[in-house]
Amino acid sequence: MALSSDPDFEEKLIDVVGLYLNPPERALVLSADEKSQIQALDRTQPSLPMIPGRCGTMTHDYKRNGTTTLFAAIDMAQGKVIASCMPRHRHQEWIKFLKQINVETPPEIDLHLIVDNYATHKHPKVQAWLKRHPRFHIHFIPTASSWLNIVERFFRNLDEKRIHRGVFRSVPQLIDVIMDYIEQHNTDPKPFIWKKTADEIIEKVGRARLALDDAPTG
């Protein structure tokens, strides 16, 4: 767990963990973020399969065939993922993704989005769009606390299961694999369960900071 220097660390932590453990009634809590610069890598040599006594191997020589950015939001109640791949991750793309969330969720309920502090999420045009759509409520995690955003676990699973050892000869092929993974996930989604209370995390962070302060220097 990285130690955040955010002066509002505890306030933001309590807010986000409260949404995980005690979500508001008649509302959806969504953990959202971008996984940027996902590379379509084409290995120049075929990987060797796994056989008894030897792990599977893969060449470190590859050809870069472009990148995509995955925008994703996990419904914490059901585990379903709303997602879209776009060429860039500016505020324009973030607003486009917010519009997608707006369309793909029941219009009569409030939406609580947990996001990081990336400047795109705070752009003036994003703020103006949010004012016109008051059912959206944005909750920022503390700086340097990506572990607090559940969607990062989903990104890790996607990377391990589909991207890391994949061979992609084009960006469209990479996007097809990503969206196929998400479609399969959504056929039988499982909620990502948060168990730690804010007090437990604050205590753990406090111990880590004490250990860091006591560590020898030089």
pLDDT value of position 55: 47
CATH architecture of the domain with residue range 9-42+58-203: 2-Layer Sandwich (3.30)
Q: How far apart are CA 23 and CA 137, in angstroms?
A: 13
Which mean pLDDT values do the consecutive 10-residue runs of the chain (218 residues) have?
Answer: 80 96 95 94 61 50 83 96 96 98 97 96 97 98 93 95 89 96 96 91 78 53
pLDDT value of position 164: 85
Q: Sheet with 81-86: list strands edge to edge.
A: 81-86, 62-75, 27-43, 110-115, 136-140
pTM for the whole thing?
Answer: 0.85
Phi, psi (rounded to 5 degrees) for 42: -105, 115
- State CA 95 to chain mean position distance: 17
Closest by CA position to 98, among listed 116, 117, 111, 80: 111
Q: What is the DSSP letter of 150?
A: T
Domain spans of the chain, in order of start: 9-42+58-203
pLDDT value of position 182: 97
- Only one residue has tokens 């604050």, namely 202
Closest by CA position to 111, among listed 137, 134, 79: 137
